[in-house]
Structure 1
Amino acid sequence: MARFYCPAPLQTGLALSLPAGAARHVQVLRLQPGDVITLFNGEGGEFDATVTRMGRSDVDVEVGAHRPLEREAARVVHLLAGITANDRMDWLVEKATELGVASITPLVAERSVLKLKGERAEKKLAHWQGVAVAAAEQCGRNRVPMVHPAVTLNEWLKQAAAGERWVLSLSEGTRPLAQMTGSAAVTVLSGPEGGLSPSEEATALSAGFAPITLGPRVLRAETAPLAVLAVCA
């Protein structure tokens, strides 16, 4: 059954028009009145809904039964991930959503190739949030991870709450990910292509990030945080 994110109050018996993006998708799928779809709004569970009207650019539905399903990861993981070049950041956001990430904060690192400011930053943020929505629709999640505005490490530290923190590191003194047991929420810091700079890693360590390793091989910037999520899922 086709699934759509509908960021609006949902309740059984409610008649509503789908958001523009969902309506376009319903039309592309050539669904017809009487067809049943699934709606979720990120507040928990999902609803059956029946298409009642197909307009030229709008679609009306009637919300049906609620199903209190949750498909979230066993551990809450927030990614503070270095912005990667080209389409790799899109890929990271998509796959991280599929693997259950709770939130993603793009990191403007010293070695980041892509630098974002002003209107360009706003457009990228909206694009990445859209990628997360589409991935949640596809993989069955009922909660969409928030993609936060891009920040530097120092900016993030000024506003961050206390909590468990890990940093992916190639330096000596790291601990294997398998040894990082527990169930508390954790923030995972990873760098862009080329990794974090020595000063950024030193800042992270002084701020309480525990250095961890994923093994003897060097993974790409978009692969390493996904490996962490796969273990925590």
Structure 2
Amino acid sequence: MGREQRRLLIDPGRLQRAPAGLVDLSPAESRYLVKVLRYGPGAVFAIGDGAGGLWEAELTEAHRAQLRQPLEAPLAWQPPPQPQLVLLAALVKRDYELLLRMAVELGADWLLPCRGDYDAVVGQPNLERWRTIAREAAEQCERPWLPQLQDPRPARDWLGGTVPLPPLGPTPTERAPGSLAGLKLIAIPRQSGGLPLLEALDCWTATEPPGSLWLACGPEGGWSGAEESLALDQGWIGVDLGPRILRSSTAAVAGLGLLSDWRYRRWGC
């Protein structure tokens, strides 16, 4: 399959319901293929299920496509990345949608919006729109695994470790129990004693990757003293993102970019 083939992400449930691999396309998917890409019957593109599977598909008509491989035998399957990148980002008044899009482009596997003690955001976010943004970004970047966006909840739930994070997908069976511990980093002010982020990554000396690699970034007003203390007591490592004062959304993207590069250089994913 050539790199020039465009890719659609289609939910595994929809693919399971496709009779004999004949997939009904949504109006938005059909419009993208026919109007934007100018594909006609016979055009070949790729379909991913957001869970590691990839198939070739042929457009048979404007609203329908035929898988070229059996659903149970995809053209390719890729396991979930290890370590998984987890971004815990406090809600901010502006640019949160852009933050989510860039986080997906940079490789975040989990997007955890949260409300901090100094959160100044009012109202409820449009989660359906946020999930659409994440899906579009994953399609653009040809990511085999669709990042998971959780509902917003208090930052203390995540910082205190009271909420378990389910696995993104199957984990290697040869790993011993307990070997999937995470490396958790929280952005704090330099005067609070945070390590430069790259130095903090050097704390991971094991030959196997951590099961997850977390970055927590607070709201415009920063983390409260109670939130910061809670995180450090639970084993989070305080990190410093540099000498300049960054907006919350900028800090999240800058830090995540460093983590993504570290994961790629060290673990190849």
TM-score, normalising length from structure 2?
Answer: 0.74
Deviation of 1:220 after TM superposition, in Å, equals: 1.6
> Per-residue deviation at 1:129?
1.0
Tell me, in whole angstroms, the C-alpha distance in 1 between the residues paired with 2:232 and 2:118.
18
Deviation digits for residues 181-202 of structure 1 (CA, Å, limit 9, x no counterpart) = 3331122111122322222222
SS at match of 1:216: coil
State the Cα distance separating 1:20 from its structure 2 match. Answer: 4.3
**Counterpart residue number, 1:79:** 87
The residue matched to 2:140 in structure 1 has which SS?
A: helix
Of 141, 147, 150, the residue aligned with 1:148 is: 150
Runs of 4+ displaced beyond 3 Å:
69-75, 160-163
Pairwise CA distance, 1:138: 0.6
Question: Matches of 2:152 and 2:27 in 1, distance apart?
Answer: 26
Could you give the per-residue CA deviations for residues 123-147 of structure 1, whole angstroms, max 9, x where no partner exists?
Answer: x111111111000111111111111
Paired positions, count? 223
Question: What is the alpha-carbon distance in structure 2 between the residues aligned to residue 18 and residue 232 of structure 1?
Answer: 36
Aligned residue for 1:132?
134
1:42 to 31, 34, 50: 50
Deviations 1:34-91 (A, max 9, x none): 112221111214222111012xxxx1000125442659766421011011213x1111
Per-residue CA deviation, residues 167-219 of structure 1 (Å, 9 max, x unaligned), is 00113321111121333112211112232222222222222211011221122
Structure 1, gaps ≥5 residues long = none
Q: Structure 1 residues 23 and 8 mapped into 2: Cα distance closer, same or farther (>3 Å)? A: farther
Unaligned segments of structure 2, at least 5 residues: 166-180, 261-269
Q: Which residue of 1 aligns with 2:8?
A: 4
Q: Is the 8 A contact 2:42 2:60 kept in 1?
A: yes
Query: Is 2:179 the partner of 1:175?
Result: no
Q: 1:24, 1:108 → 2: CA distance? A: 37
Post-superposition shift, 1:108? 0.9
Report the aligned-residue RMSD.
2.4
Q: Find out whether 1:201 has 2:264 as its counterpart.
A: no
SS at match of 1:149: coil
Bigger Cα displacement from structure 2, 145-154 vs 106-115: 106-115
Residue number among 25, 31, 37 corresponding to 1:24 in the alignment: 31
**Alpha-carbon distance in 2 for matches of 1:72, 1:227:** 23
State the one-letter code of the partner of 2:6: A
Distance across 2 between alignment mates of 1:203 and 1:134: 35
Partners of 2:224 and 2:102 in 1: CA distance: 25
1:78-117 equivalences under 5 Å are: 78-86=86-94, 88-116=95-123
Counterpart in the other structure of 2:266: none
Matching residue of 2:183:
164
State the one-letter code of the partner of 1:107: C
TM-score of the superposition, structure 1-length normalised? 0.85
